[in-house]
Every structure is written in C-alpha cells, then in structure tokens.
Structure 1
Amino acid sequence: MKGGFVMTRKQDVLRAAMKSAETFAYYCAIQKALRLHRKINPWLHGITILKAPLGQSAEPYREAAEAVLFAGRRPAYNEKERRVIVDDDSSAFHKVLDSDEVRSFGYILVVVVHDFKIPPEWQLAASFIGDIEKLTVRQVRCALLNCCDVVATDTQIAEALHIGADLMWKAVARGRSFNESLRRLRSLGASDSAPAKRKSQPNARGLEDMAGYGQAAEWGMQLTEDLRDWQAGKIGWCDVDRGVLLEGKPGTGKTTFARALATTANAHLVTASLAAWQRRGHLGDLLKAMHRDFEQAKSKSPTILFIDEIDAFGDREKLDDDNRDYSIQVVNALLEEIDGSDEHEGLIIVGACNNASRIDSALRRPGRLDRFIQIRLPGPTERLLILSQYLDQALTQSQLAPVSDLSEGMSGAHLEQLARDARRSARRSGRPVSVDDVLAHLPPRVIIPREHRRAMAVHEIGHSLVGLRLGAGKFVGVKIADWFNPGDQVIELGGAHFKQSVLQRRDRDYFERENAMLLGGIAAEIVILGGHCDGGGLIVGSDLQRATDRLTEMEAATGLGHRLTFSAAADAEEADRVRRFYPRLAEAVEAGLLRQLERAKAIIVEERVLFDAMCDALVEKGRLDAQQVGEMVAAHAVSFQTVPVALEPDSYSGIAAQ
C-alpha cells in the first residue's frame, strides 16, 4: 500500500528521539513546526522544507529529523527514497528531486539555515515550507526530565537558553543537577563559542590583558613568540611546544585561558570534551565525532585544540571491569589522534583537568601533553586586578580595596559573575558602577563566633606545634578564617603549612613524623577539648585520609613497613582497595595511626604553655607567620628540631594540613 510505510509506531519515534536530551528537544521543535503541515496533509509525503531559527545552524536538527522519519531504525527496503537533508546540501536535494519514485510516493525532510535562499524549483516542488521556532522552556524541561532525569525550573532554563542552547547541552549530564550545569554555564559566559570559531572578536581579551595566570600566562606568551617565529620561518615546528596540560579547580579559568591564548596567538580555537563526543551516540559515533574535531583543528593553522575535562577519559590502569573495554578504546583513539596531529604543523593541544592524577600516563609522555601547569585561585592583588578588568577599568584596584579580603577564595569565574551583577545594578539605576555595587553582590557571609574560632585554632595549632617539635618540614605559617561563604562547595576554615625539601630523606622516621603532624589537629582537640569532631576526616584531602594513605604507602610500597612486597596505590581509591584486599596491611596502618596519634597527644601535653600562647595569638590575629611563631618559641625557651622559615605571604597557597 502506497504511503503505508510512512506510519511508525509512536513509541518507536519517541525512543529514537530520546537518544539524548538535545535530540529530543529539537525533535519537539520539529514536530511543532510540522503540526500545521499535518493539519493540511496528515501523511508525511512529498517535500517539506523547514528553516532553523534565525542565527542558528541547521546541523543540530539532523538526528531529530531522522527520528521523525525513521524512528531510529535503518530504513526499510521500501523506504529508500525517504531522505533527510540538512543545511545547503543542494546537490543531494536535486538528485532525489529528479527521482520519479520520490515524486510518486517518496518523502524528503529538508532543514536549512533561516537565511538560506530556496531555489524556485524547490519552492514549486515543496508541499510545505515552514519555520522552526527557537527552543521553548517547556521543550527543554521535558527533554531534561525524560532523557536525563534532571529537574530544572523555568527561570533556570530561560537563563541557560539565553547563554546559548549549544552550550547548555554540553553542560547537561545525567546525574548532574541543573544548578551545577547552570553554574558551569555562568562560569563560561555567553562568549564561549561553538567549535572552530575564530577568536578574533574586538572585545576578546588576550593573555597580556589577563591577570592571575602566572606560569600559564608566561608559557602562553612564549608559545605566541614561538608561533610567530615559526610562521616567519625562523624556527622549525620541532622547536614549538605541541601540548600542555592545565590543572585547576572548577572556575579557575582554564577555558578562559584557552580563549585568551587563541586571541594572543591569533590562532583558531576548537573546543571539545569527552561529554560532547559522547552526546553523539554509541562508541562509533563518539570516535567519529572525536576524529571530526581533530580534522577540523588540522584544517586551519595555527589552531588551539582545547579538550576540556580530559581527566574524564580516565587511566587505563585503573578502569573498572564494567566499562573497561569501552574506555580503553576511547583512550586509545584519543592517543592515536594526538599522535596523528604530530605530523600536522600548526596544531597545539591544550588539555584541562581538575585532577591530573586521574589521567592516563600515556597522555603525558613527551610529544603529547608533556608540559604540566597548575592554575591556582587568584591571590588578593590578582583578585582586584581581575575584577577591575571585568569592570572594564571603571574602578581602579585602589577603589576596589574593600573587596580584597571579602573575595578570598573566589575564582575568576566567580569574579566575572560578581562584575556582571554589579554592572547590571548600576545600569538599571542609570549611573556608573561603584564599589558599593560590587560589595552588594558579594556572596553572603557567615561570621564564625569566637568560641568556634577557638576550636579551629586548637586544631591548627595542634598541626603546627607537633610539626615544629618533630621537624616535619620548614614551618611557613598557620591561619584560621573568621567567616565563610555557605555556598562554596568546599569550605576551608584554616590550615598549617610546612615546606618540604626536595632533598628530604624519606625513611620510616620521615613518614611517621609527617603522620604525627597530620594527626596533630585531632590530637589537640582530644587533649584540649576532650574529643574531636569530623573536621579532620570526611573527604578526600582531609588530614585523616592523607595520614592513612601515607602510612599505606609506607607499609605497602616502600619496604619500610612490615613486609617488602610492593603494592601500588596511586590515589585514595586505590589505597582503600589495597587495604581491603590485605587485612593485615589495614591492621598495620591502623596500629601506625594510633601510635602517631598518641605521640602527637604527648607533645601537646608536654608543650601546653606554648600551645595556649600560640592558640590565643591565632584567635586574636587570624594568621601567624614563621617569624611570629619563631619569636614565641624563643620566648618560651623551647628547643625544636624545626626552625621556622620566613617565606612570601603567597606561600600560604600550598597549605599542607587542614
């Protein structure tokens, strides 16, 4: 029966459309555009031409259009003349337009950009020409809920769509709240563009205009000079760095750095990520999308290929059995693409991650991402400079001085949001932006009462005093906070910092002294307060986790413990797995922790007078440097193995015990 083949079961169509939230949302938009057509002709027959919304590409609608026609299955033998044509594939369109079968019973769905000039013969042949409206809040909400189990409010979706639908889909993931997706979008801002867009906008900032990047900025400026010399024929491509790995907390500006680097180097920028490639479908689709982005990056020179969240690929040595084969194929494909790019001059790969320890070691070998740079949170001076830049120099650093301490712990993304909010307030009031606008939009602060600060000081002085007594490195300083932002994902209320020598002899005594220092906070709470709270544990990176893993390393991998057998444990998860597998090892670690805890408690009891003096001073001042502590030690005539060392204030960025 002619036309019978075009009828598909509704559940098959929906299943095909729900391949991803993005596909489902665009599917809803197409179906809405076809609604008027179906009122006239309920059969999908002939030629239908749909125009994408103004300013949008037609490519995102491809999978949704295929779901409308084929319901996710391969076309049957009698569906060979059903076609989906996207954008300006006019040659393909004319080929099927000339087919007698199409004229009699075929169906073609064409999606073109809004300003595409439809040839007269197309207009004559088309049974329907219509517009696809922009995605609506309702369509997105339905797609998120049905495809990702993600709940979002209308206001949140509207804001995300305003930033950009393409960016929104990249930020959305199953298991990730829409609040987190929206936070990532805000950190990027609307200036994040689609892959391969040339970063040459007049308002694009280069590295020379950016603050807070330190070593990364220095490397970027050197790379720019090398690229210019290479383009001028002064040096060969072998003398130019091919790749770099950036590590930093979310919001520290790794994506912004890539954009600024492309601007300064006058290079094209292609952005990619594992999540974006996975959105294309199954493994084969992912590998094709990966290859397509690498080929796109190679098509122009010079090009910065930015791969975000590269630690999501994982390490092949640590993969779970469930996804091992799949993940190994993905990592191997990435390595092949990177190696293949070596032969292409003008391509620089910038990888960004939150935790470099989770990256496959093969990615960091020479010739790949062999250069490693950490991007840290900006310091007081850098925060004011960044904020002034985002305010377009409307306020100087001296005018922004009241914001310095109140913005502690804020990343570049947070400062950009702060500047945007301040400008909006001033704009709506019809006046220039002021420091009061900035102060009004700072995150709410929770002031820590004195009795709580006293407990925090007890904990941190415990680390400091035990470390000083045992010589667990060169003491730099100790600090506690007097307020915190409840919205921060990780709240650091204090810390003690010891600087380790690279020439340190790491014998058994070294490990035990370090562990006693790490457990000094808990020991002090037990001795002074009668018991300890959960602040020394709970999370990866806590005192208890680090002390436990250091003893695990000593017992299992160094030969310094009760056995010579080597068992590798590269991170906290592996260390925990090793302890579970070897019960005797877990017992040895537990016994070692208890010994060092008792050792730390004994030191605090013995030096109680000095402990109380240091604790009182820390509560009063909030911060003690090496010189201040050294004077207190001398005043109490205490002889320690460690002599406090005076370092620059910025050395507090590497706090060892918290």
Structure 2
Amino acid sequence: MPKTLSGKQSRVPWRKVRNERGAALTLPAFMAYCAVAGALRSWNRVGAKAIVTLMAPDDFYFPIYAEAARHFASQIWKTMVFESNVFEWSDKSFRHEAEALRDERAIFFASTAYEFKEDDRLLSDAVIPLGSRTPRHAEVALRRAGLPASRENVELLLTEPWPRLYKAFQDRRDPLQAFQRLRSLPKRTPSVEVPVEPKSVGPTLSEMHGYGPLLKWGYDLAQDLARYKAGLIPWSDVDAGVLISGPPGVGKTMFVSALANTCDVPIVIGSVSKWQEAGTLDHHLKAMRETFIEAKTKAPSILFIDEVDTIRSRGGTNRNDGYFNSIAVGFLELMDGVERRNGVVVVGACNFPERLDSAIKRPGRLDRHIEVGLPDAVARQSILKFHSGITLDAGEAEQFDIATDGLSGADIMQLVRDAKRSARRESEDVSSRHIVSHLRPMSALSGEYLRFLAIHEAGHAIVGFELGHGNVTASKFRATE
C-alpha cells in the first residue's frame, strides 16, 4: 500500500501498545483516543503536516486528551526529531505557537472556558469540534481491555468525571481493580448529560425510486467513501463533485439526504439565495466561505448546494454584473481543486443547468452532470408505497398509473397527505380507497368518441396492408356504419 494512504488499520492501538514514554494507553485514554482519531481522520496519513485545533466538549480534561492526542501524533508524525506537539490554547501560548510553526505540526485543544480568537483560527489549518465520549467508545475500550461491555461498566465510564477515571486507571493497575476502586467510592453526579449517539433520520438509497443513473452513482460513492474512511484509497479517487438537474419536485433534496444517510456522513446545506440574504458583497462571500468551512470541519461530509444555477455566468460589464461576477469568482475559488476541499463531496442541484457558468463544470468542480426526470409508473408506485405503506391491487394500480402520469414525487407526497387527512376525518387508517379517492378525476369516453377512434385506427391498418406492411386479412375487419 502506498505510504500516502492512511494505513490507519496498522496504527490503531487495539492492543495495549506503548506510547512514546513507554506507558500503555489506559482504558480511559483509549476512549479519548477514539474521539481524537475520529475528529482527525482526514489527517490520518503518515507524515501529514497540519496545525489543527480541536474545540473541546464541556467535560474536557486536558491530561487524558493530551495523552490520547500524543499517541495519535506519534503514529502519524513518527516523532524522531521533535516531541509530539500537543498543546492547550491559553493567553500565553506564544512559545507553543512558535514550536508549531517551526515543526509545521501540532494539535491544539481549546476548552470551553477559553475565548478562541481570530488569530488562533488564522494559525490553524482546521478548527474541528471534538465529540464527547459515547457508549460506542466505552464498549470498544472495554473489549480492548478484555472486559465485558456490560451496561454497568459502560455507564460508569460515561458518568464518572475524567479526573477520577484518569487517576483510577493507571498502567501499573489492572482495569478490574480500577473498577472496584471507583465502585467503592460514593457515587458522584455527572456534571454533564450522558451523550447519546444520534441516529440517522430519513430514508436511504435503498428506499429511493425513479432516479436511474443517479442511484447507481450514489451507491458507487457510498462504497468509495467507505474505502476512503478505511484508508484503502486516497481522496483523489473519490468522485467529489456532481451536478443534479431536473424539474421542480423530482426529489433532488430528498435524494441527497438519502445519500448522506447511506454514506454515513454529515450533510451541510448551502443555498445561493440564503448566501445572498447575508447582505452586501462582503457578507455574501463570507456566508459562502463559512458554509464550505463547516463542511470541511465535518469531513468526510456532503455539501449540498441548492439553486446553484442562480450563480450567474461571468462576462457582463454593467455595475450589477460586477457584483455577480465577484460571486462567481468567489464560488469558483472555493470549488477549485479536489485537495483544497479534501473530504468534502459537493452536490449541486438546479433546474436550468444551461445557465451555469461553464467554469463550474470543469474537472475538479461539478464535472459530472446527471439529469433526473419525472418518475415512471413503477417509480410512482414505489414512491406511493414508501410514503403511505400501501400496495395497490391490479385495478387500482392501473387507475393510479393513468391518473398520476406526469406527476412528480412531491405531487405524490401531497396526494398521500391528502389521503391521510381524509382517513383521519373518518377515524380510519389510511387505505387504498383513500388514495384512489384523491386521484385526478378521469372522464369516461363516450361511445361516439370510441367509434371515431376505432375508424381512425382501422384506417391505419388498411393503409399498412395496402403498402405491404404485415399480413392483414379482410376477415379481421368489420364494416362499421
């Protein structure tokens, strides 16, 4: 495997690996390591140069997080020349800043009590929120120590303050003894709530229908992101930009939400109209930059930019065109190059792709374009089942297909809402009867219309026979008065 790849599988201290001081990583330090490694996954490459600030949670305790960060840094930087640069921001960090700049590598922690300054942000290549300890961290740490991941053990690791855990779990002491010592002392009320790992909300790609090639691209992206997070491929191998176009209501926004859930990455929403609401040109550009920075701090992530076609093409000469030219240039600078937005997949959505500046669709930006049309009959029935849970019988399905021809996914969602409202008024569960009752009315064809239609079609058949197309016999026709 090339050295530029993550290779983190060989560096994760699953076994009781010794740190640079010769001491084993203790159980609570391993929990802190899980949070640190998760926040710094984008820099988990041997030799990577970066000065990063981690914004600490409320229950932050520097000694234990510093131990975890030093172990992470020692595996990445192979500190043979200098010490692992792990510092805590303070009003007297001048020496630490100088060391960080000299070595081009450092991990800073900013506690909630510290007022993080603009100068601190300028020094940092990235400012990343550091997650709190989670039940998952506790379970993994217990399994690493060879202890059962029981509810009682997990609860103790999550509710005991970090200083007590730091003093109880020591390299010379068996973890079981540490647990016994903690349980023998009076129980202390935690100062913060036990964090609960958020569950993904909303559909996944497996529940999306009618998206054609876009669905296949989404599955491919999910596999590539999984390989990237595992350190098996570099970011340059990930398709980091796509443009989705189609008429309103086809579900572009819902697709991106399902894509993020399937890829198991956060989604950051950006809107050109929201950026413009920020005010003047400077505020507009600042709002746009902040959206990209947010996506970068949450990397790997998906940045969804709605209404991207409202970024006007450059080339005008009047005063207003100068404003929009500056916006387009600023957007192109943020989009430029895969490495600059390492870990961020940009998904742009629009209704009129022909209005986009051609530079936005160049390689390294939104260079892949996938169109999404209105759903076909099969997709419309799948959308109906997803939103209502109802499967129509053959007759109802035929009626539904005819009545919903030309409708978008949003139209079908509205139909289901109307059907559910009718069911509630009748104090019933929604059923296919309620769905059918809200379909567009279809007029019955009169006998006279059907007669003219039959004559018209018979004319086609006779002309085809006279021209020698097919083998049509006269017995198949019946004179109609």
TM-score, normalised with respect to structure 2: 0.52
Amino acid at match of 1:430: S
Report the Cα distance in structure 2 between the residues aligned to 1:429 and 1:267, rounded to whole angstroms. Answer: 42
The Cα of 1:298 is off from its aligned counterpart by 0.5
Partner of 2:385: 388
Identity %: 38
**Aligned CA distance change for structure 1 residues 394 and 322 (closer, same or farther; 3 Å):** same
The Cα of 1:216 is off from its aligned counterpart by 0.6
1:302 equivalenced with 2:142 (yes/no): no
Report the Cα distance in structure 1 between the residues aligned to 2:343 and 2:463, rounded to whole angstroms. Answer: 58
**Aligned CA distance change for structure 1 residues 223 and 202 (closer, same or farther; 3 Å):** closer
Contact 1:269/1:305, CA 8 A, preserved across alignment: yes
Q: Deviations over 1:268-303 (max 9, x none)?
A: 111111111011111111111000000001111221
Q: Deviations over 1:321-374 (max 9, x none)?
A: 452111111111110011166423221000111111111111111111111101
Count of residue correspondences? 276
Contact 1:273/1:307, CA 8 A, preserved across alignment: yes
**Aligned CA distance change for structure 1 residues 201 and 272 (closer, same or farther; 3 Å):** same
Structure 1 spans left out of the alignment, 5+ residues? 1-88, 93-198, 455-611, 621-627, 640-658
1:226 equivalenced with 2:224 (yes/no): yes
**Aligned CA distance change for structure 1 residues 428 and 368 (closer, same or farther; 3 Å):** same
Of 298, 310, 313, 2:311 maps to 313
**Aligned CA distance change for structure 1 residues 636 and 355 (closer, same or farther; 3 Å):** farther
Report the Cα distance in structure 2 between the residues aligned to 1:615 and 1:371, rounded to whole angstroms. Answer: 50
Of 417, 427, 430, 1:430 maps to 427
Report the Cα distance in structure 1 between the residues aligned to 2:226 and 2:242, rounded to whole angstroms. Answer: 18
Contact 2:337/2:364, CA 8 A, preserved across alignment: no
Please state whether the residue corresponding to 2:223 is helix, strand or coil: helix
Report the Cα distance in structure 2 between the residues aligned to 1:342 and 1:90, rounded to whole angstroms. Answer: 34
1:635 equivalenced with 2:465 (yes/no): yes
Amino acid at match of 1:406: A
The Cα of 1:635 is off from its aligned counterpart by 2.2
The Cα of 1:446 is off from its aligned counterpart by 7.5
Partner of 1:616: 456
Contact 1:614/1:632, CA 8 A, preserved across alignment: no
**Aligned CA distance change for structure 1 residues 451 and 332 (closer, same or farther; 3 Å):** farther
Amino acid at match of 2:465: A
Partner of 2:358: 361
Equivalent positions of 1:153-552 (< 5 A) are: 201=199, 203-317=201-315, 319=316, 321=318, 323-339=320-336, 342-391=339-388, 393-396=389-392, 398=394, 400-401=396-397, 402-443=399-440
**Aligned CA distance change for structure 1 residues 203 and 274 (closer, same or farther; 3 Å):** closer
Report the Cα distance in structure 2 between the residues aligned to 1:447 and 1:328, rounded to whole angstroms. Answer: 56
Contact 1:242/1:342, CA 8 A, preserved across alignment: no
The Cα of 1:228 is off from its aligned counterpart by 0.5
Q: Deviations over 1:135-192 (max 9, x none)?
A: xxxxxxxxxxxxxxxxxxxxxxxxxxxxxxxxxxxxxxxxxxxxxxxxxxxxxxxxxx
Equivalent positions of 1:525-604 (< 5 A) are: none
Structure 2 spans left out of the alignment, 5+ residues? 1-111, 116-196, 470-481
Report the Cα distance in structure 1 between the residues aligned to 2:431 and 2:411, rounded to whole angstroms. Answer: 18
Please state whether the residue corresponding to 2:341 is helix, strand or coil: coil
Q: Deviations over 1:622-643 (max 9, x none)?
A: xxxxxx97x666324289xxxx
TM-score, normalised with respect to structure 1: 0.39
Report the Cα distance in structure 2 between the residues aligned to 1:288 and 1:449, rounded to whole angstroms. Answer: 64
Amino acid at match of 1:283: L
Amino acid at match of 1:204: G
Report the Cα distance in structure 2 between the residues aligned to 1:201 and 1:210, rounded to whole angstroms. Answer: 19
The Cα of 1:202 is off from its aligned counterpart by 5.2
Partner of 2:3: none
Partner of 1:473: none
Report the Cα distance in structure 1 between the residues aligned to 2:206 and 2:433, rounded to whole angstroms. Answer: 29
**Aligned CA distance change for structure 1 residues 315 and 633 (closer, same or farther; 3 Å):** farther
**Aligned CA distance change for structure 1 residues 350 and 400 (closer, same or farther; 3 Å):** farther
Please state whether the residue corresponding to 1:415 is helix, strand or coil: helix
Cα RMSD of the aligned pairs, angstroms, is 3.4
Partner of 1:36: none
Contact 2:285/2:330, CA 8 A, preserved across alignment: yes
Report the Cα distance in structure 2 between the residues aligned to 1:248 and 1:300, rounded to whole angstroms. Answer: 28
Report the Cα distance in structure 1 between the residues aligned to 2:447 and 2:243, rounded to whole angstroms. Answer: 43
Q: Deviations over 1:384-404 (max 9, x none)?
A: 11101111x233575750311
Amino acid at match of 1:327: F
Please state whether the residue corresponding to 2:253 is helix, strand or coil: helix
**Aligned CA distance change for structure 1 residues 436 and 252 (closer, same or farther; 3 Å):** same
Contact 2:384/2:390, CA 8 A, preserved across alignment: no
The Cα of 1:210 is off from its aligned counterpart by 1.1
Report the Cα distance in structure 2 between the residues aligned to 1:422 and 1:404, rounded to whole angstroms. Answer: 17
**Aligned CA distance change for structure 1 residues 357 and 373 (closer, same or farther; 3 Å):** same
Report the Cα distance in structure 2 between the residues aligned to 1:395 and 1:222, rounded to whole angstroms. Answer: 30
The Cα of 1:440 is off from its aligned counterpart by 2.3
